[in-house]
Structure 1
Amino acid sequence: NEPTEYQRIVSEAHIGLMGFGGAFLGMVGLKYFFDSDKEVNWIDAIERPLAKVADIEAIAIGLVLAGTWATSTMLADADALTFIIAAIAGLLTYLGVEIINHLLEPPTPTTGDVAKAGFGAFLYLEVLD
């Protein structure tokens, strides 16, 4: 229990934490807004057009990469590199979780498959946390 030491460590790592978290959570948010199957829209004027291109998954990745680059241009060179590397790691982590989730989700679910899908959802929530 050393809150001062914890604060120092987190403060020193904040650029990397922002890059990783921004990319990972950005993908989580974009997945929600780029969902053609959802029935309720929070911002209908924005979400309805986005649903039309929801099947093009590269759009969300491109938006996150563009946001990463735009943010990095506002940082000092060393911080920009840290931010970009962390953001790419966040993006790859998100994609890895999505791949695992997809592999655990069978085309026709059985009882055992439901357990696998539940495990995949648990992993997703753990990474999100």
Structure 2
Amino acid sequence: MNFTIVLSMLLFCSLILAQYDVNVPEKERTSETQSCFSDLCDFLKEFVSTGIFAAPVPGIYYFTFFYNAGGSQEVFLILMKNNQDVVSTADRKTSHDDADNGGNAVFLQLQQGDQVYMRLGANTHVWGDNFITTFSGFLVSQV
């Protein structure tokens, strides 16, 4: 149920944000794109601009990430919580491998304001085009 609500809210706010034209002067913007979920839309704008998830409420959250990368280079991705390593995934470079895929997932108990984000290891890479490297999560249960 929580996932359905979050997914619906994300879709709704994405549509609202897609309609938001920053080139239109403030006084010419209409209130058609306002929503009763303005806090969630503000939250999503912040996440999209920083890539850092800040827990809006205390609870148990589920996070997952997947990557695609060229096999000729190393990969090291870490899911971080408040500057601490939580889980990671890695792959060594090989000369006979065109591409690598990997990922990981975790349940975390977060307090309001805790930050979760991804860190790419030094001198490693992942492919970031065509939505093939992803980071997502949702609230499982409030505590």
Larger fraction in strand? 2
Q: TM-score, normalised by structure 2?
A: 0.26
Larger fraction in helix? 1
Q: TM-score, normalised by structure 1?
A: 0.28
